Amino acid sequence: MPYRLNYPIHQRTLGNGLRVVVSPDHSVPLAAVNLWYDVGSRDERPGEFGWAHLFEHLMFSGSQHVASGEHLNALQALGGSVNATTWFDRTNYFETLPVGALDLALWMEADRLAALPDHLDEASVQTQREVVKEEKRQRYDNVPYGDAMPQLVELVFGPDHPYGHTTIGSMADIDGATVEGAATFFRNHYRPDNAVLTIVGDITAKDAFKRAERYFGHLPSWNRRVRPAAVALAPLTGVPTSEVTGRVPAAATYYAWRLPARDTWAFDACELALSVLGGGQTSRLHRELVRSQRVAAGVGASAMPLIGGTSFGVVNVRALPGQDIDAAHRAALVQIERLSDAGTTQAELDRAKAQFAREWLTELARFDSRADLIGAYATLHDDPDRVNRKLEEVERLTLDQVAEACSAFLEPGQRAQLDYRQEVVDAAQ
């Protein structure tokens, strides 16, 4: 029986183009604010790779009435949590706080949207350059397999595609960022008509719209950017492959595919199929490679939804320490081919749907993640109410649809492959 959700969704567009979405919930006196900007790494031009993420940091560097660092300090002093993230398709800024601090959060978000470029200086840009570089060292350079994602997206999409580089970008491009360039980037993308403000929590829709108008309504408007129609990429051919030899804990292999755009039935079917293949200890790969054949130490699988015509699916297999990956690789390809040829069983599909439902409902139960999901559907699909229909869409997928998607998008010959080999270290060194 499909889940039928009924979270209240109210929306209004201000005169300057800012879309405001409100979901009242009076269960606790909290509010979550989520401001999605329709800009991510796919919007970066050559020479700007990493600028969307850099700007996420610059947004905390101070604005007309708020000094550098005070955005965080002021809200945390009132019990709020504050953060921001950048992805291929968006940048979002979010706070969860006692409802009494809501006005302050809205005022500060509006203040930096109003005039942040006028307050950028070389010191701020240089500081955030170093922050981004340190983040890259911690998350990519000094972590085993940390460079997997940058390599995989380049293999899957190609270096010239908008999705062919990750949000961390190029350190050379980050070094090349100037105050003038950052200001131009801001004015191109940080506009009321390119943003969605979502408020979830202990507030009425009428009051939320009134506050949004008070703090954001005076900001100047532009014509909302219209993106060109997304074009889906054809499946990969020839198995593009890359190999890395280094001091990793164990040899490993990553497989990646081009999948349909996010929130299409075919993407959802692929996501369920990848869960059956490598999602958790009941998955096919875990049962066969880890428990039965004992040729792998761990496996995983995930689907990454993207709006620009083509998404991204990944399977990873890690060998037992000290062993090569070849036996695990052969065994994994057998399971991938089985899935592509025949799809899933009904029991496997039901289990994958149940796992999806648990994860979806868990996300919606929290104010902050509910605001994030509503903002995502408003920004990327112009349909915030889809949070109430998503479980029904997934639940109605059939075995035949999943089998069709597996055959079309998860063929072994349509994969990219990234291999990690352990560096042989001389014991005398």
In eight-state DSSP terms, residue 227 is P
- Strand pairing class (195-201; 19-24): parallel
- Whether residue 3 is predicted with pLDDT greater than 80 in this model: the reply is no
Provide φ and ψ at 140, rounded to 5°.
-120, -50
In this chain, the answer to whether the domains covering 10-216 and 241-422 adopt an identical fold is yes
Using DSSP, state whether 48 is helix, strand or coil. Answer: coil
Would you say 412 and 336 are in contact if contact means Cβ atoms under 8 Å apart? yes
- Whether residue 309 is predicted with pLDDT greater than 60 in this model: the reply is yes
Using DSSP, state whether 221 is helix, strand or coil. Answer: coil
| pLDDT tens per residue across span 120-133 | 889 989 999 999 99
Going from N- to C-terminal start, the domains of the chain cover 10-216, 241-422
3-state helix, strand, coil in the chain (%, to 5): 45, 20, 35
pLDDT confidence of residue 223: 66
- Whether residue 115 is predicted with pLDDT greater than 90 in this model: the reply is no
For the entire predicted model, the pTM comes to 0.94
| pLDDT tens per residue across span 221-260 | 876 667 778 889 999 999 999 999 988 999 999 999 999 9
CATH of domain 10-216: 3.30.830.10
Q: CA separation (Å) from 138 to 132, 141, 143, 148, 168? A: 10, 6, 7, 14, 12
pLDDT confidence of residue 118: 83
| pLDDT tens per residue across span 348-363 | 999 999 999 999 999 9
Could you tell me the CATH superfamily of domain 241-422?
Metalloenzyme, LuxS/M16 peptidase-like (3.30.830.10)
